A and B are shown apart, each in its own frame.
Chain A
Amino acid sequence: MRTDRVTEAELAALAHAGDREAFGGLVTRYAAQARRVARTILDDADDADDAAQDGFLAAWRHLGRYDPARPFGPWLLRIVANAAADRRRRRRVRQTEELSPVSASADTGPAAEADRRALRAAFAGALRQLPERQRTAIVLFDLEGYSHAEIADILGIPEGTVRSDVFHARRALRGPMAAWRGWKEREP
């Protein structure tokens, strides 16, 4: 079956009836988004991938609760975000040492590469410093392209709160983003 031409609602219905290939089609479509959302919530990449997998499996078990009249992405990402938050609460994930621009600059290699890494790390650090909800909101809005209403649905918060979270997150990331982008534009 060519799953790329089938609608998400059809894939979900087939998967609900036990068609693993159809479910595979849904996983393929949303793997990157789900992994990124999980990484937004969990610092550790392996933990995040495990949480994203947990989310997909929970979705597989509860496909009967999916309303085919609505888009599949927000429904799935809500489950993934919950799975990541649950994992973080259960494990009290080890706090990864924030990579400071100074330690990044100490990397071996050409100075330019070290600068690039440092600015990238500063941006990543600023992102990590954001409260989890703001972080998730800005990733869902500016990277994944979900609307405020959809993000409100995913995170289970009012739409106005999403707008506020996106605003504050953008403001916090503006500086590191400008520095990184300015460096990138100077790149030969």
Chain B
Amino acid sequence: MTGHSPFDHAPDPALGEALREVLGVDDDAAFVRAVLERTHAVEPWWEILGDWARPGVAAALLVVAAGAFLLGRLVTPAPTVLGAGEPVQAGFEVTALLADAAVPDIEVLLGEGLTR
């Protein structure tokens, strides 16, 4: 504070030097090492997000699978109740005969049975 007034708007180098001596810190290198060692113990945000992402992705896949299953069930037509005259299985002659509204000819029926 030699030549410096408390009103001065510029730093006082003498006072600064005195403060540096009083607050003197030593071995900054050891301090830096200690800080960097501690950063290894702290998970950074991207690793925390990564940890959260894995179960999140698994849960999302599960939800998608469940959604797809439910959607599939909604879209697929439900089995309809067969009418009395409808064929049970297409392509099978016997059922075709049964499905026919007209009374089948006995000869045809017997002929069908003999051929099996």
Contact = CB atoms under 8 A, between A and B. Distances in A.
Interface of A: 18, 20, 23-24, 27-28, 31-32, 35-36, 39-40, 49, 52-53, 56-57, 60-61, 64, 120, 123-124, 127, 138-139, 141-143, 145, 148, 163, 166-168, 170-171, 173-174, 177-178, 180-181
A149 B89 CA distance: 90
Contact of A61 (B4, B9, B25, B45): B45
Given A145-B11, A177-B1, A177-B14, A52 B46 contact: no
Contacts of A49: 31, 34
Contact of B11 (A24, A141, A173): A141
Interface stretch (B16-24, B62-70, B73-81, B105-113): B16-24
A127 B24 CA distance: 14
A42 to B, nearest CB: 11
B29 to A, nearest CB: 8
Contacts of B34: 49, 53
B14 A60 contact: no
The 8 A-B pairs at the shortest CB distance, nearest first, are namely: A170-B6, A35-B25, A143-B19, A143-B16, A31-B28, A142-B16, A36-B23, A142-B15
A60 B46 CA distance: 12
A18 B46 CA distance: 8
A56 B35 CA distance: 7
- For B7, B22, B32, B38, the residue with the greatest tally of chain A CB atoms inside 10 Å of its CB is B22
Nearest to B6: A170
A23 B39 contact: yes
Contacts of B46: 18
Given A18-B46, A60-B44, 14 more contacts: A20-B40, A24-B36, A36-B23, A36-B25, A40-B23, A138-B19, A139-B23, A142-B19, A143-B19, A145-B16, A171-B6, A174-B6, A177-B15, A178-B1
Contact of B21 (A24, A120, A173, A178): A120
